[in-house]
């Protein structure tokens, strides 16, 4: 049975949720949450490693007990602890945790105050106005819960791009191994690199007689076959992800790929261009009357309407067709364009590897410089650094730069922006650094004016380089702060500092619209991994996808510059 890291992480996360609802030991809850994050972000497939031999790599925060549970999950798909907890608690209570905005604390509160144990009880409580009366909820939260319930009923639950990738890539590999299969591509929002994915649309080109649909139905991860024919099948995976697979003739593959990649608005605009030329465009090809004139490749579809190829990430009908018509499509940034990473953590704060290990891992993936940016002292949960520890790390980095070849380590800090806009460390410490990354980690619910002013004041500090994860959102967990992003960008332009696109799959912050706004305002964006371990540089793939959705080219990305070009830009922000 295929078991992905996301499956193991989901079991640990559910255990943590149920422990929290039960009021268990906070340290035990945190251990499972940390393990879920570590496993979910681990770049190597743990099931494969378990099958290959007795020893697993040392995973931060994963001791013998949790390693045993990883092995148990890899063998059975679940673990005894979770099954026992399911038997001890109301069966439907875990469904409540799938509703956005309902974390374990709120689920427990609703259970204790209103005896809510199921989705139906939650729906009745919301419709009757009882939820707003529970302390900590209110009318707005009640309305949001009702909306989330409606979306859940429509089957509109979306998963993060990085989680969808684990299932998509395994299924693509399975289908590619089928006799007669020539090409397999995941289309839809996944190919457009949207930050969340509702389902997977997979296109297959194969020789006549290929048993591809039969092999799909027999795939170990298929939980339910909704429909199945000779050229199309619709299935639901054990993870709950809905998958549509279409078998397409090679001569129509490009047209089908364009059609099923979307977006719907982009496709409508392309079809209108075709109609103006007397053409009909659909998933089968480009036709003049009954004659197919194009469609084997996507390039031929665009060429038929007088356009150059438009990258999938731009296909949202947000000006890409007009830009293509004018010959002004940007050369979008690629992963290979990145020269460095300006936001890393080590064991000095809440990271899992040493400075040296992080530097060597960055070098191994082709980067030439990194900035070590530990948390500052205010973030005690992450063992943030006080002035003395910052100065000690500066000395360590100076020593390592004298030892290591092929990688340069910049001295930095991820300093907390306090609610009043001041920074968490004094200028006497910050001035010793190469880069200061400012971040909001508290008071997320300040009113728009105060939150904006807080960030603007921080950016006016004498030593301030990059605003980290600018909106503060966590996908599916925390809404973005209410800030005037345009005002922040224009202040950054005046001040000469930069914004981050944090590539952690839980963040992907800036969003695509704000990336495009930064480009238009002339503010450089740093695409950073926010790596907490040596495997986290894999996050950069998703950050680049978001940057491309935001129309960013290499010239728009701060760390697509070599160190010689980067250093003067950093110096300019550091009061020198």
Average pLDDT, integer, range 266-273: 96
Measured distance CA(334)–CA(367) in Å, rounded: 13
Average pLDDT, integer, range 442-465: 96
Confidence at residue 576, expressed as pLDDT on a 0 to 100 scale: 57
Lowest mean pLDDT among 110-119, 287-296, 317-326, 551-560: 110-119
Measured distance CA(434)–CA(292) in Å, rounded: 59
Average pLDDT, integer, range 275-284: 96
**Look-up of token digits 């943030």:** 384
Angle at 105 between CA 138 and CA 117, to 5 degrees: 85
Confidence at residue 99, expressed as pLDDT on a 0 to 100 scale: 81
- Which tokens in the block code for residue 147? 């909306």
Q: Is the pLDDT of residue 278 over 80?
A: yes
Average pLDDT, integer, range 428-444: 96
Q: Is the pLDDT of residue 267 over 60?
A: yes
Confidence at residue 111, expressed as pLDDT on a 0 to 100 scale: 83
Confidence at residue 149, expressed as pLDDT on a 0 to 100 scale: 84
Measured distance CA(397)–CA(359) in Å, rounded: 10
Provide the CATH number for the domain formed by 5-153 in this structure.
1.10.150.110
Lowest mean pLDDT among 12-26, 138-152, 203-217, 265-279: 138-152
Residues 6+ apart with CB under 8 A from 68: none
**Look-up of token digits 């299969």:** 181
DSSP for 300-368 reads HHHHHTT-----GGGTTTSSHHHHHHHT-------GGG--EEEEE--TTTT-SS-HHHHHHHHHHTT-S
Q: Is the pLDDT of residue 156 over 70?
A: no
Q: Classify residue 382 as left (phi > 0), alpha (psi -120 to 50) or beta.
A: alpha
Provide the CATH number for the domain formed by 335-573 in this structure.
3.20.20.140
Q: Is 385 helix (H, G, I), strand (E, B) or coil?
A: strand
Percent pLDDT > 70 in the chain is: 99
- Which tokens in the block code for residue 181? 């299969």
Q: Is 535 helix (H, G, I), strand (E, B) or coil?
A: helix
* Under 8 Å between Cβ of 127 and 146: yes
Confidence at residue 154, expressed as pLDDT on a 0 to 100 scale: 63
The backbone torsions φ and ψ at residue 513, rounded to the nearest 5 degrees and listed phi first, read: -65, -40
Q: Classify residue 532 as left (phi > 0), alpha (psi -120 to 50) or beta.
A: alpha
Q: What confidence category does residue 91 fall into, taking pLDDT thresholds of 50, 70 and 90? A: low
The alpha carbon torsion through 502, 508, 510, 511 (nearest 10 deg) reads 170
Q: Is the pLDDT of residue 1 over 70?
A: no
Measured distance CA(411)–CA(432) in Å, rounded: 8
Mean pLDDT of the chain: 93
- Output Rg (C-alpha) for the chain, integer angstroms: 25
Average pLDDT, integer, range 108-127: 87
Average pLDDT, integer, range 421-430: 97
* 287-298 confidence digits (pLDDT tens): 999 999 999 999
Q: What confidence category does residue 194 fall into, taking pLDDT thresholds of 50, 70 and 90? A: very high
Q: Is the pLDDT of residue 155 over 70?
A: no
| Enclosing H/E stretch for 452 | helix 448-459
Which range, 201-210, 302-311, 381-390, 566-575, has the best average confidence (pLDDT)? 302-311
- Which tokens in the block code for residue 107? 């689920």
DSSP class of residue 548 equals H
Q: How many other C-beta atoms can be found within 10 angstroms of the C-beta atom of residue 474?
A: 15
Q: What confidence category does residue 76 fall into, taking pLDDT thresholds of 50, 70 and 90? A: confident
Q: Is 67 helix (H, G, I), strand (E, B) or coil?
A: helix
Average pLDDT, integer, range 297-318: 97
Average pLDDT, integer, range 275-298: 96
Has domain 159-247 been given CATH number 3.40.190.10?
no
Domain chopping of the chain, boundaries: 5-153, 159-247, 252-326, 335-573
Confidence at residue 22, expressed as pLDDT on a 0 to 100 scale: 86
* pTM across the whole model: 0.85
Confidence at residue 459, expressed as pLDDT on a 0 to 100 scale: 97
Residues 6+ apart with CB under 8 A from 276: none
Confidence at residue 138, expressed as pLDDT on a 0 to 100 scale: 85
Name the fold adopted by 252-326: Beta Polymerase; domain 3 (3.30.210)
Lowest mean pLDDT among 300-314, 321-335, 385-399, 470-484: 470-484
β partners of residue 499: 467, 525
């Amino acid at each position: 049975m295929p078991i992905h890291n996301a499956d193991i992480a989901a079991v640990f996360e559910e255990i943590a949720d149920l422990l929290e609802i039960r009021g268990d030991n906070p340290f035990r809850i945190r251990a499972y949450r940390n393990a879920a994050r570590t496993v979910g972000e681990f770049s190597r497939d743990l099931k494969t490693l378990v099958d290959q031999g007795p020893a697993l790599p040392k995973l931060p925060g994963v001791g013998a007990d949790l390693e045993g549970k990883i092995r148990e999950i890899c063998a059975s798909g679940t673990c005894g602890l979770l099954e026992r907890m399911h038997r001890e608690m109301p069966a439907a209570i875990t469904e409540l945790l799938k509703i956005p905005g309902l974390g374990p604390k709120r689920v427990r509160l609703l259970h204790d105050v209103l005896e809510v144990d199921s989705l139906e009880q939650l729906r009745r409580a919301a419709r009757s106005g009882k939820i707003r009366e529970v302390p900590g909820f209110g009318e707005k939260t009640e309305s949001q819960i009702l909306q989330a319930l409606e979306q859940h009923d429509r089957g509109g639950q979306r998963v993060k791009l990085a989680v969808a990738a684990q299932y998509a890539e395994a299924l693509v590999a399975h289908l590619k191994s089928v006799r007669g299969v020539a090409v397999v591509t995941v289309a839809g929002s996944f190919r457009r690199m949207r930050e969340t994915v509702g389902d997977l649309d997979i296109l297959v080109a194969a020789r006549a007689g290929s048993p591809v649909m039969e092999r799909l139905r027999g795939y170990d991860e298929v939980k339910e076959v909704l429909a199945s024919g000779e050229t199309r099948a619709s299935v639901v995976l054990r993870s709950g992800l809905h998958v549509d697979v279409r078998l397409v003739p090679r001569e129509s593959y490009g047209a089908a790929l364009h059609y099923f990649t979307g977006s719907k608005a982009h496709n409508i605009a392309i079809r209108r261009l075709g109609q103006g030329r007397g053409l009909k465009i659909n998933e089968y090809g480009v036709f003049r009357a009954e004659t197919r004139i194009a469609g084997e490749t996507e390039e031929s579809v665009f060429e038929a309407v007088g356009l150059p190829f438009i990258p999938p990430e731009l296909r949202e009908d947000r000006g890409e067709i007009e830009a293509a018509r004018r010959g002004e499509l940007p050369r979008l940034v690629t992963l290979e364009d990145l020269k460095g990473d300006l936001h890393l953590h080590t064991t000095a704060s809440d990271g899992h590897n040493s400075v040296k290990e992080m530097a060597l891992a960055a070098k191994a993936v082709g980067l030439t410089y990194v900035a070590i940016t530990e948390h500052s002292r205010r973030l005690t949960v992450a063992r943030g650094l006080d002035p003395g520890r910052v100065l000690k790390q500066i000395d360590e980095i100076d020593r390592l730069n004298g030892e290591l070849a092929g990688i340069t380590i910049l001295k930095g800090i991820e300093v907390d922006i306090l609610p009043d806009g001041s920074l968490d460390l004094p200028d006497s410490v910050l001035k010793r650094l190469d880069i200061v990354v400012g971040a909001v980690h508290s008071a997320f619910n300040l009113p728009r004016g105060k939150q904006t002013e807080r960030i603007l004041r921080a950016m006016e500090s004498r030593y301030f380089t990059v605003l980290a994860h600018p909106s503060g959102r966590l996908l599916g967990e925390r809404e973005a702060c209410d800030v005037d992003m345009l005002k922040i960008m224009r202040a950054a332009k005046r001040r000469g500092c930069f914004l981050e696109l944090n590539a952690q799959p839980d963040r992907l912050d800036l969003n695509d619209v704000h990336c495009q706004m930064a480009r238009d305002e002339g503010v450089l964006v740093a695409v950073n991994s926010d790596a907490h371990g040596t495997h986290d540089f894999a996050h950069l793939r998703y950050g680049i996808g978001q940057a491309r959705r935001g129309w960013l080219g290499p010239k728009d990305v701060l760390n697509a510059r070599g160190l010689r070009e980067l250093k003067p830009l950093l110096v300019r922000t550091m009061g020198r």
